Structure 1
Amino acid sequence: MVIAKLLAARAGVAERAVYSRHLRRVWGVPGTLLGARAWPPLLRDKLHTSFNYWWQAHLLDCMIDGYQRSPSVLRKAAITKVVRGIRVRNVLGWTNDFYDDIAWLGLALQRAQHELGIAKPKALDAIAERLRDAWTDHAGGGIWWKRNDDFKNVPANGPAAIFLARQNDRTDLARARSIVDWVEDNLVDPASGLAWDGLHVHPTGEVREVEKNIYTYCQGVLIGACVELAKHGQQEKWLDRAARTITAVHDDLATNGVIRGQGGGDGGLFAGILTRYLAQAVLTIPELDPARHETADLARELVIQSAEAAWLNRVSAVSGPLFGPEWTIPADEREGRDLSVQLGGWMCLESAALLERHGLNVTGA
C-alpha cells in the first residue's frame, strides 16, 4: 500500500535536486535560468555553450508539473526565468531548424499559459506557423524532422500533433488528425503495434528507407496524440489505437511493469516522456469511455511500477537523489551526469504523483 502523498514527496525531492544542481543563469543575465547540461558542471556547462534546446523544454514541463503539485510564488518565478532563459540563449528567436524541438517547447509554453498564466503569444504563434509549414506530401504526408532534410519521424510528428490538437482551432485539429493517421499508415509495425522511428524520403517524394528502431518516447507521443484527439470525436478509433500501443509497451518495452531505459544523452528523456503520456491516458481514457478501465489500469501499472523502481534504484549524491537511465538497476553516478537522465526520473515521479493526487496511485485499486 502506498502511503498518501508519498509519491508527491518523492517528486519534490527530485525537483529540489535538479533545481540545486542544474539551474544556472544564462551568461549572467538577470531574470534568466537554464538547466546546465551535466553535473558536476564543467565550464562549458556553466556557460551553456552547448544548448540542448529540447532538454530545456522538458525541464520547463517538469517545473510546471512541480507547480501543479504544489503551487508557489517561487516556483512560478523560476518557471518565468527558464522561459526567458530559453529565449535569451536561443538568440535569434523562439524556433530553430528542428521541428521536434519546437513542438516540445510549444507544448511546455501551452501549459505555462494555461496553468500559470505565463503567456508568450508570439512564441506560440511562431511555433504553430512553423509546424503548419512542416507538413508536405512527400511520402504521403507527415512533417519533417528538421528543415531541409529527408527524414520524417514520430518524434517530430507526435508532439506536433498534440500541440496542434491543443491549439483550439479547427484547421489545426484537422492537421493533427492527418498527422496521426499518417504515422499509423507508415510507421506503426502491424505485427507489434509499436511505432518505428521514421522514414527517409527521396526528392521525388517516394519512401527510400524506413528506420525501424523502437524508442519508448515514440510510443509516448503516439499515445498522447491519440488520447488528445479522442477528446474531439471519433473516440473509438483513437482510443483503440492508444490501447493497442499501451498494451504493446507493457508486453515489449517493460520488465515487470518497469519501462526500459535507453541510455544517457537524449535517450535519458525517452522513458520519462512515455510515463507523462501514460499518466494522461490513465486520467482521460476512463472519462471518455469507462468500459476501457483495463487499458487505464495497464497504463497506471507502468507509471507506478516505473516510478517505484526509479526511486528504489537511485543513489544519494550532493543535494539529493541521482537517477540512472535504466530504472531496474542501481543508478551509476557516471551515467546520471546528464540533465536529461535526471529529468527523465523526475518526470516519471511527477507522473506517479499526478496519479496519486487523483487517488490512482495503488496498482489494482
Structure 2
Amino acid sequence: METPEARARTAAESVKGAFGHELLGLRGTWLAWVWAPHPRPQLPWSEWHYWWQAHLLDCLVDAALREARTGEAATEPGPPPSLALAQRHLNGIRLRNFGRFPNMFFDDMAWLALASARAQELARKLTGNGLPPAGDAVQVLAEKLRAGHTDDLGGGMFWNTRRKYKNTATTGPAALFFARTGETNRAQALVDWLYENLQDPESGLFLDGLHLEPQGGTRLDRGVYAYNQGPLLGALLELGGGNLGPAKELVHAIDAGLTDGQGLLKAHGGGDGGLFMGILGRYLALAAADQRLPEGTRAGARRLVVDTAEALWQGRDKRDSHTVFPAHPGEAATSSYPPGSPVELCTQLQAWMLLEAAAALETERN
C-alpha cells in the first residue's frame, strides 16, 4: 500500500506534469494551465485564475515541507525542489499579473499573501535566506490588505476595490495573514467582526457576507461554503488564548454541517468551488495537530481530513503519465472527468491539498 507521503508525491507530480509550464516560454517562470490538456493556442491574456495560482503556491510549500522531512530533497544540493519551483511560480504570477502582485480582489491578495509568507518562512528556515519574490509579495500585499480593512459596517474586509461587499471569504484569510505576521490586534478585530456579523447562530458556521445596498442598509448573503470556515479556523488557532474554545466549536460545527452521509467533507463541484473542500481540509489538519485542543476535537478533525483524502485516492484514475482525482470524494474520477475530457486544475489542487494534509498528519502522529 502506498504511504501517505507517496500519495501526496503522486498528486504533486501529476499536477506539475499535467498543468505546469513556463510562462510564454520564459526561463525562470512557471504557471499552471487552468485545464489539462489546455486549449490551444494559449495567448498572454488567456484565463489563468490568480487565486487558483495562489493555492498552487501553498501546495508547493506543502510539498517542499514534505521533501524536507522525508529526505527527498537530499538527492541534490540546495533547497527542496518544490521550494525552488515556488520561486519560479511567484515570478510567473507577477509577470502574468502585469508585472505586479496586487489585483482588485482583496481575497485573492490575502491568499497569495498567506502562501508567500509560508514560502518566505520555509526558505529562511531551510536556507538561512528568504525567497526574494515571496518577501516582495508579502510586503506589498500586506499594505493593500490593510487598505481593505475599514470601519464601514463596523469593521471587516471588503471583497474588492469596488467596496460594496464585506465577506468571510476575504476577512478570514486576511485575519490569518495578520495573525501570522504579528498584527494580532488587527487579526483579532477581524475575527470578532465575523462572529458579530456573519456567524449563523443555528449551525455555528459562517455565512458569506454583507452587501452595502445603494439606497442604504445591508443585505445578508446566507451562502455557507467550506472554504470560508477554514482560514477563520486557522486564525483562531494562530491567535490562541480565548480563541481556542471557538476553534473547538467551529470544528464540531464543520463536522455536523459540512459533511456528507459517509462522514466525508462535502465538495462544491468544479470552477472556483473545486478548491473549497481542499482549503477547509488544510486548516482542519492544523486543528488535528494542535495539542491545545481537546483530544476529541483533534480526532474529529483528523478523521475528516484522512477519510476524505482516502476517498479521493480511491477514486483516482491513471491516465497517460499522470493521475486524475475526482471532484467529489466517494465518486470515481471517471465520473467527474470521463476519459478524453479536459480536467480542471482546481479539483486536482484540492486533492493535492488534502493528500499533503493527510501525509503531514501521519508524520505528526508518528
More deviation in 342-351 or 247-256?
247-256
One of 319, 326, 329 as aligned partner of 2:331: 329
CA distance in 2 between counterparts of 1:333 and 1:97 reads 32
- Matching residue of 1:51: 48
In structure 2, stretches of 5+ residues that fail to align are 74-79, 124-129
Query: Is residue 198 of structure 2 the alignment partner of residue 187 of structure 1?
Result: yes
CA distance in 1 between counterparts of 2:184 and 2:116 reads 18
- Identity, in percent, stands at 38
Query: 1:283–1:143: structure 2 CA closer, same or farther, 3 Å change rule?
Result: same
TM-score of the two chains, using structure 2 as the length reference: 0.90
- Matching residue of 1:26: 23
Per-residue CA deviations over 1:187-211 (Å, capped at 9, x if unaligned) read 110011011111101368x642111
- Matching residue of 1:254: 259
8 Å CA contact retained: 2:64, 2:81: no
Query: 1:45–1:265: structure 2 CA closer, same or farther, 3 Å change rule?
Result: farther
Query: 1:203–1:297: structure 2 CA closer, same or farther, 3 Å change rule?
Result: same
More deviation in 265-274 or 37-46?
37-46
Cα deviation for residue 340 of structure 1 reads 0.7
Cα deviation for residue 348 of structure 1 reads 0.4
8 Å CA contact retained: 1:279, 1:299: yes
Query: Is residue 346 of structure 2 the alignment partner of residue 340 of structure 1?
Result: yes
CA distance in 2 between counterparts of 1:203 and 1:296 reads 44
- Matching residue of 2:76: none
Question: What is the 5 A alignment of 1:143-182?
Answer: 143-168=157-182, 172-182=183-193
Query: 1:88–1:305: structure 2 CA closer, same or farther, 3 Å change rule?
Result: same
SS of the aligned residue for 2:46 comes to: coil
- Matching residue of 1:96: 103
One of 297, 300, 306 as aligned partner of 1:298: 300
Query: Is residue 83 of structure 2 the alignment partner of residue 86 of structure 1?
Result: no
Cα deviation for residue 136 of structure 1 reads 1.4
Cα deviation for residue 96 of structure 1 reads 0.4
8 Å CA contact retained: 1:44, 1:50: no
How large is the Cα RMSD of the aligned pairs? 1.7
CA distance in 1 between counterparts of 2:342 and 2:255 reads 25
CA distance in 2 between counterparts of 1:270 and 1:336 reads 20
8 Å CA contact retained: 1:322, 1:342: yes
8 Å CA contact retained: 1:226, 1:238: yes
- Matching residue of 1:363: none
TM-score of the two chains, using structure 1 as the length reference: 0.90
SS of the aligned residue for 1:69 comes to: helix
Per-residue CA deviations over 1:307-364 (Å, capped at 9, x if unaligned) read 011111122222222112211211222587111110000000000001011126xxxx
8 Å CA contact retained: 1:177, 1:229: yes
8 Å CA contact retained: 2:204, 2:250: yes
Q: Which amino acid aligns with 1:333?
A: Y
CA distance in 2 between counterparts of 1:42 and 1:336 reads 9
- Matching residue of 2:208: 197
- Matching residue of 2:9: 12
CA distance in 1 between counterparts of 2:43 and 2:280 reads 29
Cα deviation for residue 296 of structure 1 reads 0.7
Cα deviation for residue 122 of structure 1 reads 2.8
